[in-house]
């Protein structure tokens, strides 16, 4: 058990009870709050003031004592290492899988990265599918690849073959900004090696790194109509930015609902996201996905009639990712950061990375309900151009579309995870590279960034680092 968490929690409870949290940002920090300015309280009442390597792992400070207990139970399960059945503790791993625990991919509740040259895959995975020849697949779930399913499981339990391994090659290209500064972008190429049976030539491959898992209850609590109000599929306002909702299959409601989670907004709820993680990433069944992910493959053994992870565990793990606190912004009053914030708005970044949203009610999670938050996302899909494309449609997301990722906490990734690899596959090695990969609907933002002076680009990055 994380004892330090309990100590932090007690300190936060005291400050909450003594009223710190009820004061507006202006009261706390002593300055006026202009309209275009976001307060340091990125997660509303769930914000914590911690910029250490634990910044992503702290429970929301406004949890009740019972909710705090439940969160800690979820924390234990999030860290639980699964093993091959039969076993007394945490059996059910595999037979094919990508990793043995949630935390192994979402290290420190933070983000993954692509492997270094001679490492095997840890926190990056490849989604696979076959082309949908009927109508390009628009609105349909990805078609599984026979013998593989919809994900390459690069590990397996003893006595069965893994599905394959992955090698990544990078090609560098130089981009020169208006003032002559050179930036080197690396183009990844994914090669599946050691495939245990031939892969069809037309297989579609989508690499994805594990995203951060804090603040997610807040994103789940944003009313659907708020998200849809930002959608502008036909670009009627003529700003070159459309924004399109994904609608994906909800296995509990048994109908298509708004997608919010994952790099293509391909999961509708955190419950289903977590159940899919157990199923697809670890080979563990739950009541939502009762059949083993290896069904129909030679690795498949027998199917348990009972879920390998109970509904109680599924629920506390879901609650855990719903109630991790959002770290507060830092240096909000620094003139360079303020300048960068202006440039962020001028470069149209905020058209997709929406600074301020209001949450509605999330049933059973009052701590994330009715909060003003600063996630810097619209949770919508955008065409990001051919260079970032995976060419693998996912429900309504086309091969060039990605969901705007939230930017809160992005300045702490280096401290928490020890790297600065960004974008869906971690190809960007720092924040500037991430911006210069933007294309498609975000091409104008990229152009504006290229035309900035060095001082301006530095300010923009200083602002991102303050998030």
Residues that bind ligand HEC (CB under 6 A): 78, 98-99, 102, 104-106, 123, 125, 208-211, 213, 216, 241, 261-263, 266, 270, 273-274, 277-278, 281-282, 317, 321, 344, 347-349, 351-353, 382, 384, 388, 402, 404-405, 407, 410, 422-424, 431, 434-435, 438, 441-442, 445, 449, 464
**What's the min distance (Å) between Cβ of 15 and ligand HEC?**
28
Tell me the CA end-to-end span of the chain in Å, nearest whole number.
29
**How far are the Cα atoms of 13, 212, 297, 430 from residue 422, in angstroms, in the given order?**
34, 11, 34, 7
**What's the min distance (Å) between Cβ of 133 and ligand HEC?**
23
**What's the min distance (Å) between Cβ of 424 and ligand HEC?**
4
Q: Which is nearer to ligand HEC, 29 or 249 (CB)?
A: 249
Q: Which is nearer to ligand HEC, 227 or 435 (CB)?
A: 435
Residue burial 423-440, b: 16+ Cβ < 10 Å; e: rest? bbbbbbbebbbbbbbbbb
**What's the min distance (Å) between Cβ of 429 and ligand HEC?**
11
Q: Which is nearer to ligand HEC, 216 or 325 (CB)?
A: 216
Q: Which is nearer to ligand HEC, 49 or 422 (CB)?
A: 422
Per DSSP bridges, beta strands 155-156 and 96-97 are antiparallel
Q: Cα dihedral angle (343, 344, 345, 346), rounded to 10 degrees?
A: 40
**What's the min distance (Å) between Cβ of 14 and ligand HEC?**
30
Q: Which is nearer to ligand HEC, 22 or 44 (CB)?
A: 44
**What's the min distance (Å) between Cβ of 17 and ligand HEC?**
30
Q: Which is nearer to ligand HEC, 28 or 350 (CB)?
A: 350
**What's the min distance (Å) between Cβ of 51 and ligand HEC?**
18
**What's the min distance (Å) between Cβ of 76 and ligand HEC?**
12
Q: Which is nearer to ligand HEC, 63 or 432 (CB)?
A: 432
Q: Which is nearer to ligand HEC, 48 or 352 (CB)?
A: 352
**What's the min distance (Å) between Cβ of 111 and ligand HEC?**
7
Candidates 138, 78, 136; CA nearest to 109 is: 78
Q: Which is nearer to ligand HEC, 9 or 56 (CB)?
A: 56
Q: Which is nearer to ligand HEC, 168 or 274 (CB)?
A: 274
Q: Which is nearer to ligand HEC, 130 or 288 (CB)?
A: 288
**What's the min distance (Å) between Cβ of 67 and ligand HEC?**
18
**What's the min distance (Å) between Cβ of 26 and ligand HEC?**
26
Kindly report the three-state secondary structure assignment for every residue of the chain.
CCHHHHHHHHHHHHHHHCCHHHCCHHHHHCCCCCCCCCCCCCCHHHEECCCCCCCCCCECCCCCHHHHHHHHHHHHHHHCCCECCCCCCCECCCCEECCCCHHHHCHHHCCCCCCCCCCCCCCEEEEEEECCCCCCCCCECCECECCCECECCCEECCCCCCCCEEEEEEEEEEEECCCCCEEEEEEEEEEEECCCCCCCCCCEEEEEECCCCCCHHHHHCCCHHHHHHHCCCCCCCCCCCCCECCEEEECCCCEEEECCECCCCCECCHHHHHHHHHHHHHCCCCCCCCCCCCCCCCCCCCCCCCCCCCHHHHHHHHHHHHCECEECCCCCCCHHHHHHHHHHHHCCHHHCCCCCEECCCCCCCHHHCCCEECCCCCCCEEECCHHHCCCCCEECECCCEEECCCCCCHHHHHHHHCCCCECCCCCECCHHHHHHCCCHHHHHHHHHHHHCCHHHHHHHHHHHHCC
Give me the count of residues in the chain: 467
């Amino acid at each position: 058990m994380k004892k330090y968490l309990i100590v932090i929690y007690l300190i936060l409870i005291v400050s909450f009870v003594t009223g710190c949290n009820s004061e507006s940002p202006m009261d706390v920090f002593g300055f006026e709050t202009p309209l275009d300015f976001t307060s340091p309280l990125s997660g509303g009442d769930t914000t914590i003031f911690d910029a250490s390597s634990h910044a992503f792992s702290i429970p929301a400070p406004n949890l009740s004592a019972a909710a705090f207990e439940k969160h800690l139970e979820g924390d234990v399960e999030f860290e639980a290492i699964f093993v091959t059945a039969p076993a007394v503790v945490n059996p059910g791993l595999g037979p094919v899988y990508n990793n043995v625990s949630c935390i192994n991919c979402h290290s420190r509740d933070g983000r993954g990265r692509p492997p270094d040259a001679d490492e095997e895959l840890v926190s990056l995975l490849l989604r696979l599918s076959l082309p949908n020849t009927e109508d390009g697949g628009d609105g349909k779930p990805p078609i599984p690849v026979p013998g593989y399913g919809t994900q390459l499981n690069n590990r397996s339990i003893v006595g069965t073959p893994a599905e394959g391994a992955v090698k990544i090659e990078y090609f560098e290209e130089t981009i020169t900004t208006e003032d002559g500064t050179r930036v080197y972008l690396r183009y990844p190429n994914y090669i599946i090696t050691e495939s245990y049976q031939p892969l069809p030539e037309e297989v579609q491959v989508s690499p994805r790194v594990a995203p951060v898992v804090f603040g997610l209850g807040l994103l789940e609590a944003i009313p659907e109509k708020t998200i849809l109000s930002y959608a502008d599929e036909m670009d009627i306002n003529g700003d070159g930015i459309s924004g399109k909702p994904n609608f994906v299959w909800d296995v509990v409601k048994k109908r298509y609902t708004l997608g919010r989670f994952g790099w293509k907004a391909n999961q509708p709820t955190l419950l289903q996201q977590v159940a899919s993680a157990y199923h697809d990433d670890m080979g563990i069944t739950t009541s939502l996905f009762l059949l083993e992910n290896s069904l129909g493959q030679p690795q498949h053994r027998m199917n348990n009639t009972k879920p390998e992870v109970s509904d109680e565990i599924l629920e506390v793990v879901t609650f855990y990712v719903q109630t991790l606190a959002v770290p507060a912004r830092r240096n909000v009053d620094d003139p360079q950061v303020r300048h960068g914030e202006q440039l962020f708005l001028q470069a149209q970044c905020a058209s997709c990375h929406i600074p301020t949203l209001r949450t509605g009610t999330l049933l059973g999670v009052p701590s994330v309900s009715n909060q003003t938050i600063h996630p810097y996302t619209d949770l919508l899909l955008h065409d990001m151009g051919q260079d970032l494309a995976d060419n693998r449609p996912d429900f309504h997301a086309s091969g060039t579309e990605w969901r705007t990722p939230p930017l809160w906490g992005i300045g702490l990734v280096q401290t928490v995870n020890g790297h600065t690899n960004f974008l869906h596959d971690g190809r960007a090695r720092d924040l500037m590279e991430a911006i210069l990969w933007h294309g498609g609907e975000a091409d104008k933002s990229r152009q504006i960034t290229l035309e900035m002076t060095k001082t301006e680009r530095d300010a923009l990055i200083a602002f991102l680092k303050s998030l």
